[in-house]
């Protein structure tokens, strides 16, 4: 007797399940890993991505590349998410995390094909990741308790390791010290927006400089601006969030006049309002007036006559950074300006940088801010330099907070791999194989570093395995030597990275791999997509045709 077919899902629903589905997900993740594979390490290549709007991005940063690729495969999207989370949490190691996740799944693939249940794999991978993280913590070396100068030197080495794989790797020492000075300037306050990065095309990389304070581009200015002084020593700074413009106060106001001569008094009142505001600004004793809104031509001329510098339409983030550095408070009214709300700095000046004029506040009392002014030839180059510096700043911040470092250059990966291999020998049962495959996957980092630099990966990895297998433990910090194509002590060569980068990468990559292994069915419902489209079309129709509809919202 034939059983009637049971229809659960709408017609046209695409369901794929079982082993084939899992293998398809693993293949898609491996494909994403292959995209960023070549960008790893100091000799990594860059990717040029140009989107439908015609804007071109050249980048070496795993998270940036994956963000711009617009991946649609649901399983592969998980890799984009872990790259983003690594970027926001630690700042560096985005390529590493994607590569590790892809490699873990690649190693799991033959087991899945042989019919191993994915839950067994997941269990072993989780155990292996816990052991790996414990080993990283054990091998990490603390940089606490050093003098400030020593600590700065150590942090600069961490920054240089990060920058060595970027476009600006050629000038890594120059930028590493700049980044460390910037992070030290903001002290314990670790809000990233206190470090501003301003881009000025022209010149070369070496022309970039660090301002110990705030710098921003000269804003739009009216006539009379040229007469204002462009340099002050110890000025008082007034920060406003109001516009100083002559406005005819006609908003929704209706005035009835019985006598034409009364009209003049209304015009005078408008002038008096603006003059009253300006007088109060001058009386406050401020020599530099900054406002987030416009400062009109009348106000500009008025301030110029009284030797006061003013700038309107200052970007909000710049205004907030001036407030943080100079110790002022942004005012929304000019009434009752007390000395406490005024900021100050040692030197304020307006300087020419390339083709731009910059307002620079230096020697600020609270000093909790810094600005890096980046120079370079092409716009794409400067943008990539900004992304690279962002990574380096994040790394230095992390190293200041969690002051333990591990050797880079694939050394830590080889050491964990060796440790897990030895550990797996002590386990009876299938999980011995799975933990061994996890250990093998960790070797992808040194192997890829060799491939990207054009060395013989098999040869270098054999040397590394031999070095790490030494019982004395002296080979634990040996990694790939990018310059000679052999192996070298990463610690002695100052190739360091914060332990938190590795811990986060192993954690995130294992989680992603386990998540993808635990999925055995994908249900794609095309009907719901078309239903959404119909609903949207209906809403548009109502908005246009209906009497009460106010049209579509602008996005």
The tokens for 60 are 């070496």
Residue 222: CB atoms within 10 Å:
17
**207 in active site:** no
Close Cβ partners of 297 (under 8 Å, ≥ 6 residues apart): 222, 223, 224
Q: Is 174 exposed, middle or buried (0-12, 13-18, 19+ CB in 10 A)?
A: middle
For 347, the 3-state DSSP assignment is strand
* Set 95, 161, 219, 300: catalytic member: 95
Catalytic one of 61, 413, 451, 481: 61
Q: What is the CA radius of gyration of the chain?
A: 30
First to last CA, the chain: 58
Q: How far apart are CA 171 and CA 154, in angstroms?
A: 17
307 catalytic, yes or no?
no
Q: What angle do CA 119, 97, 105 make, to 5 degrees?
A: 35
Among 354, 472, 488, smallest CA distance to 408 is for 488
Query: Catalytic pick from 318, 391, 481, 489?
Result: 391
- 95 is annotated as an active-site residue: yes
Cα–Cα distance between 433 and 444 in angstroms, integer?
Answer: 18
Q: State how beta strands 288-291 and 309-311 pair.
A: parallel
189 is catalytic: no
| CA pair distance 84, 230, nearest whole angstrom | 43
What Å distances lie between residue 354 and 204, 290, 373, 374, CA to CA?
10, 23, 11, 11
Q: Which of 94, 162, 219, 510 is catalytic?
A: 94
Phi, psi of 140 (to 5 degrees): -65, 145
Extract the tokens encoding 190.
């670790």
Helices (H), 365-430: 379-401, 411-424
Residues with active-site annotation: 61, 94-95, 391
């Amino acid at each position: 007797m034939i059983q009637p077919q049971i229809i659960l899902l709408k017609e046209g629903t695409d369901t794929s399940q079982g082993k084939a589905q899992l293998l398809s997900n693993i293949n898609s993740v491996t494909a994403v890993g292959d995209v960023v594979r070549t960008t790893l390490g100091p000799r990594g290549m860059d990717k040029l991505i140009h989107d439908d709007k015609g804007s071109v991005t050249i980048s070496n940063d795993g998270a940036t590349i994956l963000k711009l690729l617009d991946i649609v495969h649901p399983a592969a999207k998980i890799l984009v998410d872990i790259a983003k989370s690594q970027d926001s949490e630690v700042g560096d190691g985005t390529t590493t995390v994607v590569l590790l996740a892809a490699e873990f799944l690649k190693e799991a693939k033959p087991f899945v094909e042989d019919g191993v249940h994915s839950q067994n794999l997941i269990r072993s991978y989780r155990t292996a990741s816990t052991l790996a993280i414990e080993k990283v913590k054990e091998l990490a070396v603390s940089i606490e308790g050093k003098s400030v100068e020593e600590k700065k030197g150590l942090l600069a080495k961490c920054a240089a390791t990060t920058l060595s794989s970027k476009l600006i790797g050629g000038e890594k020492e120059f930028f590493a010290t700049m980044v460390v000075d910037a992070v030290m300037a903001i002290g314990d306050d670790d809000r990233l927006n206190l470090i501003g990065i301003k881009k000025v095309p022209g010149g070369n990389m070496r022309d970039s400089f660090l301002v110990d304070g705030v710098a921003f581009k000269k804003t739009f200015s009216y006539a009379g601006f040229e007469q204002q002084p462009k340099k002050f020593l110890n000025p008082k700074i007034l920060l406003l969030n109001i516009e100083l413009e002559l406005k005819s106060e006609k908003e929704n106001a209706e005035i009835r006049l019985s006598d034409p001569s009364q009209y003049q008094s209304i015009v005078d009142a408008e002038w008096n309002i603006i003059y009253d505001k300006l007088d109060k600004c001058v009386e406050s004793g401020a020599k530099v007036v900054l406002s987030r809104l416009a400062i009109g031509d009348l106000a500009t001329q008025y301030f110029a006559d009284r030797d006061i510098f003013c700038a309107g339409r200052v970007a909000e983030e710049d205004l907030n950074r001036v407030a943080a550095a100079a110790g002022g408070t942004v005012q929304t009214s000019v009434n009752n300006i007390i000395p406490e709300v005024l900021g100050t700095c040692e030197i304020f000046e307006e300087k020419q940088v390339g083709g731009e004029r910059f307002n620079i506040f230096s020697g600020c009392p609270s000093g909790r801010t810094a600005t890096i002014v980046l120079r370079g030839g092409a716009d794409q180059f400067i943008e990539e330099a900004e992304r690279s510096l962002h990574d380096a700043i994040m790394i230095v911040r992390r190293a200041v907070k969690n002051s333990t470092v591990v050797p880079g250059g694939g050394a830590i990966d080889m050491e964990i791999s060796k440790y897990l291999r030895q550990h797996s020998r002590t386990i009876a049962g299938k999980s011995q194989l799975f933990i061994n495959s996890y250990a093998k996957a960790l070797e992808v980092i040194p192997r890829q570093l060799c491939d990207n630099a054009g060395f013989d990966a098999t040869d270098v990895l054999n040397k590394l395995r031999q070095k790490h297998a030494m019982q004395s433990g002296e080979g634990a910090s040996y990694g790939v030597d990018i310059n000679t194509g052999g192996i070298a002590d990463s610690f002695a060569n100052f190739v360091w990275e914060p332990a938190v980068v590795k811990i986060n990468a192993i954690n995130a990559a294992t989680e992603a791999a386990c998540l993808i292994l635990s999925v055995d069915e994908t249900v794609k419902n095309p009907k719901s997509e078309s239903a959404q489209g119909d609903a949207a079309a209906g809403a548009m129709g109502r908005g246009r045709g209906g009497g009460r509809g106010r049209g579509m919202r602008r996005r």
